[in-house]
Amino acid sequence: MLVPISPELSLTFGTPLSIRGVVNAPALNQGLEQAILDRFQNGRGNRISNIGGWQSLPDLLDWPEPVIASLKDEVDRGIQKICAMPSMLEGRPAGPQKRVAYTAYGWANVNRDGHYNTLHMHPGSDWSVVYYVAAGTPSPETPMNGRIELRDPRPAAQFARMPGFTSGQPMLIKPQAGKMIIFPAWIEHWVHPFHGEGNRISVAVNVSLNRD
């Protein structure tokens, strides 16, 4: 898709990304943290991309706690907005958008000092959602502490040397409680090691759009 900047300038090969703060994050995170830590202490876990740390089974969106319904509402709000981007870029008149139907599943991550997630992507899904429940207390001596890194999906872009453009450079996002990130599931990403005290708790959700 071409994104016009002026009659003579456009952007193409664009990659959609959403980063936003959740308004009711303090109340939401309090309930999520309790539900996640209960299962962290008592439940089974997965080991997929995590080195150290704990990852729940991918059934988080089916947990019975009422706070999960609130989380699902926030995920839905983000998915509906990012799926409306083509209409916004094409300058269509503002108004009610047709709802996007999808299926989703999610899991929780608990990382402590020295834990991280290796480079990976989420094949078979359309969107990946990351929501930060708690950021822990990171050590100020490690500037990349616990950051999620999104890789530029264009392999040859790293050879670009055009002033003012960041082609080929990864995007680094600092964890912050209440922050939600949505990006295409095929984007390679990883999480830098967390160094500090406490728990860095996040929720990940994979979204697959219905194509009927």
Of 14, 15, 16, 20, the C-alpha closest to 130 is 20
Total domains in the fold of the chain: 1
Task: Let me know if 146 is exposed, middle or buried by CB neighbors in 10 A (0-12, 13-18, 19+).
Answer: buried
Q: Does 6 reside within a domain? A: no
Q: What is the mean pLDDT of the segment spanning 71-84? A: 96
**Which three-class secondary structure state does DSSP give residue 29?**
helix
Report the pLDDT averaged over residues 128-138: 97
152/55 Cα distance (integer angstroms): 26
159 phi/psi in degrees, rounded to 5: -85, -5
**Residue 7 binned pLDDT confidence (cut-offs 50, 70, 90):** confident
CATH number for position 181: 2.60.120.620
Residue 151 within a domain = yes
B/e letters for 121-131, b = 16+ CB within 10 Å, e = fewer, are bbeebbbbbbb
- pLDDT tens, residue by residue, 22-45: 999 999 999 999 999 999 998 788
Q: Is residue 157 part of a domain?
A: yes
Over residues 141-198, the pLDDT tens digits come to 988 999 999 999 988 988 888 888 888 889 999 999 999 999 999 999 999 999 999 9
Please check whether residue 38 lies inside any domain of the structure: yes
The pLDDT of residue 115 is: 95
pLDDT of residue 163: 86
Residue 1 lies in a domain: no
Residue 10 lies in a domain: no
* CA gap 119, 179 in Å, rounded: 21
CA dihedral 137→197→48→173, nearest 10 degrees, is: 20
- Residue 87 above 80 pLDDT? no
pLDDT at 4: 79
212 compared with 153, residue with greater pLDDT? 153
pLDDT exceeds cutoff 80 at 88: no
Residue 64 domain boundaries? 15-91+100-209
Extract the tokens encoding 148: 């999620």
Give a yes or no: residue 2 inside a domain.
no
